[in-house]
Amino acid sequence: MPVRIYQLGAIAWCVGLLAGCGGGSSMNPSRARAELEHYVREVEPIRLGVNKLLEGADPVLGAFRGHRIGPAAASAQMDQLERRFAALAVDIAAIKARLPVLAGLHAAYAETYVLEDAYLSALVSGLARRDLADLPDTQATQRAAIIRWRTGLEVLAREMRLRLPADVQQAGRGEIAPSPQGSS
């Protein structure tokens, strides 16, 4: 049931955003298309960098779970990863989408980086203390925001007859945050 509510909410949100996109917009279609292309070119390297960066968390957490590294080493390695992630969060926050509908989508997407950074910070602290019981549970919120972002981009791209990079289809699928217990 909650997944269905998220899906309906995502659809309603996108419809509302897109309703405001066409009417009253003084931007011509070719300019709007160019803005969407520019936005995707800015976001894509950051997004792909984050995906690659977060893949580095699993070996650290696996070594910690397997007692091949201790809490201090695991915490230090995750701290380095979190710091690199924080720099990418700044990069994503610095993007200024010029289409109002895209700015709304981007603001929600950028918030997922804040949530992920908070999770990684808590993970660093929890590893050092050997206490992972109080990690924030933001995965569902992040996933819903990323799916709304992806869906909104896809609708805009369809309207503008633009093809998005194939990997955008994967946004919001799979693991969102590194799990200290391993993938389920």
pLDDT digits 0-9 by tens, 145-165:
999 999 999 999 999 999 988
Q: What local confidence, expressed as pLDDT, does residue 106 receive?
A: 97
Sign of CA dihedral 55, 60, 61, 66: positive
**Cα separations in angstroms, 12 against 15, 140, 152, 159:** 5, 18, 11, 17
pLDDT over threshold 60, residue 15: no
Q: Is 13 part of any domain?
A: yes
Alpha-carbon dihedral of residues 30, 33, 38, 44, nearest 10 degrees?
-160
**Residue-wise over 32-46: b if at least 16 C-beta within 10 A, else e?**
bbebbeebbebbeeb
Average pLDDT over residues 94-98: 96
Q: Which domain holds residue 146?
A: 2-170
8 in Cβ contact with 148 (< 8 Å):
no
Q: Is 179 part of any domain?
A: no
Q: What local confidence, expressed as pLDDT, does residue 179 receive?
A: 61
Residue 62 contacts by C-beta under 8 Å, 6 or more apart in sequence?
182
Q: Is 175 part of any domain?
A: no
List, for residues 32-47, the tens digit of each pLDDT value: 999 999 999 999 999 9
Q: Is 183 part of any domain?
A: no
Q: What local confidence, expressed as pLDDT, does residue 182 receive?
A: 61
Q: Is 55 part of any domain?
A: yes
Average pLDDT over residues 88-106: 96
Instruction: Lowest mean pLDDT of 25-34, 105-114, 131-140, name the range.
Output: 25-34
Q: Is 177 part of any domain?
A: no
What are the residue ranges of helices labelled H in the chain? 2-22, 29-55, 57-65, 71-93, 100-129, 139-159
User: Domains in the chain: how many in total?
Assistant: 1
List, for residues 111-135, the tens digit of each pLDDT value: 999 999 999 999 999 999 999 998 9
